[in-house]
Amino acid sequence: MEKKAREKQLINKLILLGGVFGYSQIADIILVFSGFKPAAMVELSRFRDSKLSLKSFSKKVEDLEKIMTLLSLEYKLHINYPKDKKEITSYSYVARDQRTLKKLVSAHNETSQKKRRLVVGKLLGYPKIAVGGFATGKVIEVGELPPEVLRLEELKFLRFRLSKNWKNELRYVRLMRDEIKNIAPALYQKIKE
C-alpha cells in the first residue's frame, strides 16, 4: 500500500479512538505526526464510572500503541486507572523522535515550576509568549475575552493558556485548526461540533 494511503488509514483509525480518549488528545497526536508540534502530552484515563470495560479500554490502548508505532512516533504511556475526577492525572508522552521524548519526560520531572512550564511548553510547540505567560502566571481566562471572540470556532481547538497577547496566540490556534482540517477533516468536524 502506498505510504500516504497507509498514513491516512492509520489517521482514520486514530480518529475512531477519539471516542475513548478524547478528540483533542487524538488531534495532539496527529499534530505531532504531521510535524506541526514536536511533542504532546495526552491523558489516557478510564474513570470508575466509565461504560467501557477494563478489557475494552486496555484493547483501545493497545490499538493506540500499534497505530503510533506504525506512524513512527515515540511514546511513553501512563494509564490512569482506576481514576477519580479528583485524582491528579499522569500524562502520556508522544514525540516525533526519541530525543524529544526524553527531553519532555525529563522536563516534566523538573522541580522548578517555572522552568518546567517553560521547557514543556516549548516542547509542546506552543507560542513562546503564551508559554512565558503561563510560566509566570500571567494568563487570562477564556471567559475574559471579548464576547465576539468567545464565538470563534478557534477556541474549540485551543490547547494552552492564553496570555495578554491572546490575539497573536489565536493566530497559532488558527494554524493548528487548519492543519487538523487539512490532515484529518473528520477529526476537525468532531472537535468543531
Has residue 161 got a pLDDT over 90? yes
Question: What does the pLDDT read at residue 141?
Answer: 92
93: three-class secondary structure by DSSP: strand
pLDDT more than 90, % of the chain: 72
Res. 85 pLDDT band, cuts 50 70 90: low
User: Is 60 exceeded by the pLDDT of residue 172?
Assistant: yes
**Residue bearing the bigger pLDDT, 86 or 152:** 152
Which grid cell sits at 116? 518546567
Between the two ends of the chain, the Cα-to-Cα distance in Å is 33
Q: What is the pLDDT of residues 126-135, one digit of tens each?
A: 999 999 989 9
Q: What average pLDDT does this structure show over 172-185?
A: 96
Q: Is 0.95 surpassed by the pTM of this model? A: no
With a CB cutoff of 8 Å and minimum separation 6, the contacts of 169 are 127, 129, 130, 160, 162, 163
pLDDT of residue 77: 85
Spatial separation of the C-alpha atoms in residues 29 and 33, rounded to whole Å: 6
Name the least confident of 18-22, 44-48, 100-104: 44-48
Is residue 69 over pLDDT 80? yes
99-125 pLDDT per residue, tens: 999 999 999 888 999 999 999 999 999
Q: Is the pLDDT of residue 53 over 60?
A: yes
pLDDT of residue 48: 73
The H or E element that residue 169 is part of is helix 166-183
